[in-house]
Structure 1
Amino acid sequence: MLIPEIEAFEERAAIAEYDGGLSRAAAEDLAARQQGFRDRDQYWQWLADYVVARRLP
């Protein structure tokens, strides 16, 4: 089961965007893949589902 590390995701995306010159979308895709998600859409969907259900999927 994938459990996102939100702080690590945000930090990695920020570094990739500002230091790496990636777009925000590409930086979030990279950060999501580093946590085992397909892309940022899957990452954010996982978090949305968790918030709505208030339990791990």
Structure 2
Amino acid sequence: MTVPDIDWFEERAAIAEHDGGCSRSEAENLAARAQGFKNAEAYWQWLADYVVTKQIK
């Protein structure tokens, strides 16, 4: 897996929230799934682990 695109994630989540009427949580889950993650929690955990280990898993 490559490092997720944080800018793309934030942009997609904002669009889903603003234009799609989703809650922020729902919007982040949609954006995370679009990058291959189970949900936003898994997305943020992956990024946190990457920052700590500097390794792509």
- Provide TM-score, normalisation by structure 2: 0.91
* Comparing 47-56 and 27-36, the one that deviates more: 47-56
- What residue ranges of structure 2 are gaps of 5+ in the alignment? none
- Provide TM-score, normalisation by structure 1: 0.91
- Separation in 2 of the partners of 1:30 and 1:10? 11
Cα root mean square deviation, aligned: 1.0
- What residue ranges of structure 1 are gaps of 5+ in the alignment? none
Number of aligned residue pairs: give it. 57
Moved over 6 A (4+): none
How far has the Cα of 1:54 moved from its partner? Answer: 1.9
Query: Does 2:44 correspond to 1:47?
Result: no
Counterpart of 2:29 in structure 1 is 29
